[in-house]
Amino acid sequence: MTTDLKKSVILHAGVVLALFVLQFVLPAYHHGNMARIMVLASYAIGYNLLFGYTGLLSLGHALFFAAGLYGAGLAMSQFGLSAGPALVIGVVAGVVIGAVVGGLALRTEGVAFMIVTLMFAQAGYLTILYFGAYTRGDEGFVIAQTERVLFGVDLSAPLVRYFAAFSLFCAAILTCFLAVKSRFGRVLVAIRENEERAAMLGYDVAKYKLGAVVLSAGLSALAGAGYALLFGYVGASFASVQYSIFPLLWVLLGGAGTVLGPLVGTVFMFYLIDLSSGLTTAYMLIAGLVLVVLTVFAPQGVMGEVRRRMWRWLP
């Protein structure tokens, strides 16, 4: 057990270290991409906590990402708050919405849960469009560079931005790692594996599932708020169905229920779409193909296969 723990700590610390070193060697284009990928991967990590570890498939996580994005963005654009408090407001918005949506959606299960989360997210997206006077709808709004300052540092400067994205990612992956190793995370896995048994071991399953939704929503909102601050753009497309499908796609590809899976999946998918959008406007075709191929042939994803074939200790 302890040697397994040691191995996984070394592996994850190594990946984090590699990401840190990468900023000094990457050319400018990929440097910017990696910053974006780390923020999106944090979103995927949040998604994975619910989908991969608890076994709850949500089709509405864009709602939580957008809660962070708009929570932080509107706090700055409408109320003139500075970056720090805006970030906090974004996360709080995600947690509150997560608690409400979770409380309602968890009364259902399976397919109904998927549809209910989808519908709530769609209602959120439409609400953003409806209040176009403040949100500027599909077009979105830009947060001025002079506003994007945290602790006196300009977040829009490339090196700072990379480091900020890296810090966000570290926070997300550490939260995930600790959660998965904790008693809480192990109960979530138990619920995923056999919900009835978990209840008959005396665990209050409903409470744990709600906790998982809230934690997952909070992490997603953190990523959303971080995205607003680092890239200075807030738009309704981030609240659309597509942004609920993306984390599912990243996590499925990277390996659901693995700590590193979300990062692996996000990197792969980001570059696949980046490369193909140079060739065609129909770049979402790639996403569709990958989804079908994964569900049919490799439901475990990349890291899931690694765990199955080589490293059984992989958390």
Partner 1 sequence: MDFGPYLMLAIMEGALTAAVLALTASGLALVFGVMRVVNVAHGEFFMLGAVLAWWVSQLAGGSPVWGFLLALCVVPLLVGVLAAAVDMTILKRINYDPERTIVATIGILYILQQVTLMTYGPEARPVAPPFNTRVALPWFEMSNGALQLYWPWGLSITSYKLFVIGAACVVLLGLWALMTQTKLGLLMRATEQDREMAHAFGIPVQRVYAIAFGLGAGMAALAAVLIVPIQQAHYLMGGDPLLLSFIVVIIGGLGSLPGAILAALLIGLSDGIISVFFSPTLAKIFATLLVAFVLVFRPNGLWGTRNS
Partner 2 sequence: MSLLSASGISKQYNGLAALSDVSFDVPSGQVRALIGPNGAGKTTLVGVLSGRIPPSSGSVHFAGQDVTTWPAHKRISQGMGYTFQITSIFADLSVRENVALAARRHQKSAAVVDAMVEEALLKTGLWDRVDDIAGTLSYGHQRLLEIAMGLAQTPKLLILDEPTQGLTEGDVEAFKRLIKSLRGEITVLLIEHNMDVVMQLADVITVLEAGRVLFEGIPTDVKANALVRAAYLGGGDAET
Near partner 1 by CB under 8 A: residue from 62, 66, 93, 105: 105
Choose which of 57, 142, 199, 291 interacts with partner 2 (CB under 8 A). Answer: 199
Q: Binding to partner 1 by residue 126, rule CB under 8 A?
A: yes
Point out which span in 69-77, 118-126, 165-173, 193-201 binds partner 1 (CB under 8 A).
118-126
In the complex, the smallest distance separating the C-beta of residue 45 from partner 1, rounded to whole angstroms, is 19
Angstrom distance (rounded) from CA 47 to CA 263: 12
Asked if residue 119 binds partner 1 (CB under 8 A), the reply is: yes
Centre a 10 Å sphere on the Cβ of residue 308 and count the other Cβ atoms it contains. 12
Binding partner 2 (rule: CB under 8 A), the pick from 139, 154, 193, 305 is 193
Kindly indicate which of the ranges 22-30, 78-86, 103-111, 196-204 contains the residues binding partner 2, using the contact rule CB under 8 A.
Answer: 196-204
**Is there a contact between 306 and 314 (Cβ–Cβ < 8 Å)?**
yes
Q: Closer CB to partner 2, residue 53 or residue 227?
A: 53
Q: Does residue 109 interact with partner 2 by CB under 8 A?
A: no
Alpha helix locations (H) across the chain? 2-25, 28-48, 62-77, 83-105, 111-130, 132-135, 158-181, 183-193, 195-199, 205-231, 241-254, 261-279, 284-297, 301-309
**Residue 306 CB, nearest distance to partner 2 (Å)?**
16
110 touches partner 1 by CB under 8 A: yes
What are the Cα distances from residue 35, in Å, to 6, 87, 146, 270?
Answer: 28, 17, 20, 12
Q: How many Å apart are CA 187 and CA 53, to the nearest integer?
A: 9
The one-letter amino acid code at 117 reads: T
59 binds partner 1 (CB under 8 A): yes
